[in-house]
Each structure stands twice: as C-alpha cells, then as structure tokens.
Amino acid sequence: MNRADGAASMAEHGAVCPSLVETLPDIPRPVLPYERLRRIGIDTGDEYVIYLHEDSPLCRAEGFGAHSRVQIAIGERQLLARLNMVRGAMLTAEEAGLSEPAWLRLNPQPGESAMFAHPASIESLALVRGKIHGLALDSGAFAAIMRDVVARRYSGLELAAFVTACANGHLSLQEISALTGAMVDTGLHLHWPYEVVADKHCIGGLAGNRTTPIVVAIAASLGLAMPKTSSRAITSPAGTADTMEMLAPVDLSLEQMRRVVERAGGCVAWGGSIGLSPADDVMIHVERALDIDSEGQLVASVLSKKIAAGSTHVLIDIPVGPSAKVRSQAEADSLAACLQRVAADFGMRVQCLVTDGSQPIGRGVGPALEARDVLSVLRRDADAPADLRERALLLVTSLLQLIGVTRNRDSARAMATQALDSGAAWVQFQKICEAQGGMRTPGKAAQQYPVLASVAGRVAAIDNRQLSRVAKLAGAPMAPLAGLELHVHLGDCTEAGQPMFTVHAQTRGELAYAMEYVQRHPCIVTLAAGA
C-alpha cells in the first residue's frame, strides 16, 4: 500500500494520524542589518530578485543556490525573491543586493534588519498538478491557487504550468466561473452608490481604436455613472491608461477615484493603482509571454476586473478580422456566450457587440498619437477621424440600450450624437481631466519618417499585428510620443510616392529600429496595383 492509499484507508476507518513532531525547534534565521543591504538599481519588472555573492555565508547556512526562491522579511513586510548569484566586486560576501522592485516593496529603513529563509512549501501546487492530469478544480481549489499567485509564491515556471493547464478548452464553464470569483477575491471589490454603473471593454487586437475616453465622456454627459478602470499596455503599443495619461493623471487612489466620479460622473483611471483582481495582473504577463489567450482565461480576466470594479452593466466590443485577436464569427459567438453566462453568475448584465476588425480605427497608434485622435473627435475638429467617431457613437448607442435609458436604437443614437455634436461631451471630458489632476496636451515626437506607396493602387489589406509591431519598435508605449500615424484605410486609392503611414520616434536609434522592420515587411499595407 502506498502512502496516499494508506492515508485514505485510515480516514475511512476513523483513524487519526499522530503528529510525528510535537513541537518545532526554534530555528535561528540569518539576518542582515540595513547597512549590509544594497539597492542594486536593476529594474526586474514585476519579479523580485535578490543578489548574493557566491561566497555569501547566507548561501552556506541556508543551502541557497542560483535561482532559489528566498523569503525575505523586514518586520511585517515580506516577499519572495529569486536568487541570482554574483562574482567579483559587485557585492561583498556579507552583503545582499535587492532589485529595484524588491527594494521598493520592502522599503528598508536605518535600524532595521532583513531575515532570510526558505519559503514554506506551496500546497496549492498539488492542485495544479491535478489540473495538468485533467482533474476539474472547484472554487476552493482556484481560491487557494490565486492566493499563492498574488503572494508571488509561484515561480515563473510554476505559473506557466498553471496557465498552460487551463488553456486550449481545458476549463469548463463552471471552472471559468470559479476562477473568475477567485480572481475577484484576491483584491478590492468596489461598491458605488448608484443603481447603474456602466462600463465597456474591447477584446482588442485592433491598432488605435481608442474609444474609451470618448465613450466615458458622452455617457457621463448624459448623466450615467461610468467609473472606468483601464489597463496599461503589455504587448500592444498603448493601453487605454497609457493614452489617457497623455491627457490627465491616471494613477488614482480609490478615494481620489470616488471624488472624480462624484464631481464629473466618470473617470478613466489605471486599474493597477487601485488593486482590482491583482491575480490577473500577475498571470497576464505569463499568458502574453506564452502567447496563450484562450477563451476561458480571457473571460475570467475581463469579467474579474469588471466585477471587482462594481460594474452592473458592461458592453463588450468584439472586433472580428483576419489580423484581429478574434478571427471568425463562430469564435466571436462562442466567446460572447461564455462571457454572458459567466457574468450572469455574478449578477452582472453583459452585452457583446461584434464589430468590424478588418483594419485599425483612427489614425494614431501609440499613447500620444491616440490621445490626439481622442481630442480631435471630442472637439469636433473638421479633420477628426470619422471611423473613431462612428465606433464611439455605436458603442454609446448600444450601452444606452443595454442600460434601458431607451430601448429604441434610433433614439439612443440621437442622444449620443447630440451629446457629442453639441459639445457637451467635450465639456464633460474636460471636467473629468481636471478632476483627475489637470488636463495635459500631448507632445510630438522629434523623429518622423513617412512610408511611401511604391505603386499606385487601392488599399486591399492592412495588417493590424504588423502595424502595431512597428509602433512598438519605434518605442511605444515606454516612449509615449512614439508610434505611427496611418494615412490610408481599406478601399482608399493611392498614388506612387504617397505616404501610407508615418513612423514617429523619440530617438534616431528607435526610428532606425522600426524602419528596419518596415523594410523587411513590405506588406504591412497591401495595395491592389492598378485598381
């Protein structure tokens, strides 16, 4: 009989396993005073890293080796870090170096000491192994896993194992709902004094398409409460929060966010500064690195944020196109059905709107350039991108119907159009920006280079993914003025030598980097010659 069978047999007969250790010995843990902690200044992203010399007595005392997981505590402040071993004069044997995220999290002060130890075993990994072997997980299992994920107890490899085990249709509808609830429970859950709290989300995959600030402004001008929390870019040239940051501060605390909504009816804030569904923020980095974005994980990611934000009515834009995230109508229908069924488990009303994802929306791709498009539409400029205006009006029309302001589509469209054309939405947007800390004017990149059509013809295709890649290579979103400006759309006729898009960069090196990619990918914009 193996150990597991023996334990099961004893449990069936009411037997109790006696403890083999009545009391734990008082094990001294190595400590280092503040004076021996070094701020290395290395940005390790969202990973905590500790650096020890190869001759460090900590390694000998605790058996630490390269890539070990190390528990570090200063009073009540603690974290799990990955160990990197160093040689030479970077550190002495008696010192410990901390990466920038680890130093900021622990915030060591003079007079304090840091304690080092091996972390406790991660019990929830047994549940992950069960999922790898095809077992279904319940809400309790997902809760245990998510608690360990948020506490950063999982290594990158272990987190990748969990993400992979849940991908490719390996989550049932019940499991998706359980995972969603567990993700919500890892962070704050906002509550608002409004009967209706409106929200919208785009599944993504389109370059540009920065409708959110416009939708929030129109909705708030019509008296709706729309406290919008948005994400920063992970693999795209700009997230909504990155674009909005060109126009107003977005790093709002919960109390600041409440005050903004009370004053202006809506906001566009960065969700990461508030702590909504932090498990999603951890997992999404692994999902993107693995290029895994399966239906179940996408649904849990989107809905956990909306539920945690206190939204009651959510409109979800699902662009469908050959180079969008969702490629077919059948895929869109399946995703929409899953979103609506899981949302119903949490008492939230969701409507999915399948839209054209065949080409970018607007002209700008990158934080500052997209912000300029947003301002152009709200200010009703004569040359404002018509497709961005139309997409925003379409979304507000559907949102008004979903909430029940009016069931008549023509009436909802008229209300949205009037709010935009009268200037009410522009006035409301300025109120939102001022309430968030003051309105800003986006700048322009110093380096610009037009990409010209080699022949005359008609624009037959635009590759969203490659266009976004160009903008990222130019520096977006880290260089917020970088990106590209699109000059043509599907069906447009061009002449040889006419600019198709202009690459924007803040340095000559980044411009050259992006243009080298453009040179190797001549079909980012495809022309039907002679059309």
Is residue 408 domain-shared with residue 459, that is, in the same domain?
A: no
Mean pLDDT lowest for which of 20-24, 64-68, 139-143, 487-491? Answer: 20-24
pLDDT for residue 318 is more than 80: yes
* Active site (annotated) includes residue 293: yes
Task: Yes or no: say if 513 and 481 are a contact pair by the CB < 8 Å rule.
Answer: no
Residue 164 lies in a domain: no
Is residue 205 domain-shared with residue 330, that is, in the same domain?
A: yes
Average of per-residue pLDDT across 26-48: 86
Residue 92 lies in a domain: yes
Helix (H, G, I), strand (E, B) or coil at 286: helix
CB within 8 A of 120, min separation 6: which ones?
A: 71
Is residue 380 domain-shared with residue 498, that is, in the same domain?
A: no
The residue written with tokens 């160093």 in the block is 86
- The per-residue pLDDT for 233 is 83
| HEC readout, 418-487 | HHHHCCHHHHHHHHHHHHCCCCCCCCCCCEEEEEECCCCEEEEEECHHHHHHHHHHCCCCCCCCCEEEEC
Task: Identify the CATH number of the domain in which residue 363 sits.
Answer: 3.40.1030.10
- The per-residue pLDDT for 319 is 95
Residue 387 lies in a domain: yes
DSSP conformation letters of 186-233: TS-----S-S--EEEEE---SSB---HHHHHHHHHHTT--EEEEEPPP
Question: What's the pTM?
Answer: 0.86
Instruction: Determine the length of the chain.
Output: 531
* Separation in Å, CA 265 to CA 115, 275, 385: 47, 21, 26
The one-character DSSP state at 269 is E
Is residue 406 domain-shared with residue 464, that is, in the same domain?
A: no
Q: Which helix (H) or strand (E) holds 50?
A: strand 49-53
pLDDT for residue 530 is more than 80: no
Is residue 341 domain-shared with residue 475, that is, in the same domain?
A: no
pLDDT for residue 20 is more than 70: no
d(CA 208, CA 218): 19
d(CA 321, CA 36): 56
DSSP conformation letters of 325-352: SB--HHHHHHHHHHHHHHHHHTT-EEEE
Task: Identify the CATH number of the domain in which residue 65 sits.
Answer: 2.40.40.20
The residue written with tokens 């029309």 in the block is 397
User: How many domains, in total, are found in the chain?
Assistant: 3
Is residue 428 domain-shared with residue 464, that is, in the same domain?
A: no
Q: Write the burial class of residue 174 (CB in 10 Å: 0-12 exposed, 13-18 middle, 19+ buried).
A: middle
Order of strands across the sheet that contains 457-462: 493-494, 457-462, 525-529
Q: Number of helices (H) and strands (E), helices first, in the chain? A: 19, 19
What single-letter amino acid sits at 116? F
* Candidates 251, 293, 333, 356; catalytic one: 293
- Look at strands 198-202 and 77-86 and give their pairing: unpaired
Residue-wise pLDDT tens digits, 369-415: 999 999 999 999 999 999 999 999 999 999 999 999 999 999 999 99
Mean pLDDT lowest for which of 51-65, 217-231, 340-354? Answer: 51-65
Task: Identify the CATH number of the domain in which residue 474 sits.
Answer: 3.90.1170.30
Domain closes at, from 64, 96, 117: 117
Query: Which residues form the domain of 71?
Result: 31-117
Is residue 399 domain-shared with residue 524, that is, in the same domain?
A: no
More confident site: 380 or 17? 380
Average of per-residue pLDDT across 265-270: 96
Average of per-residue pLDDT across 451-480: 95
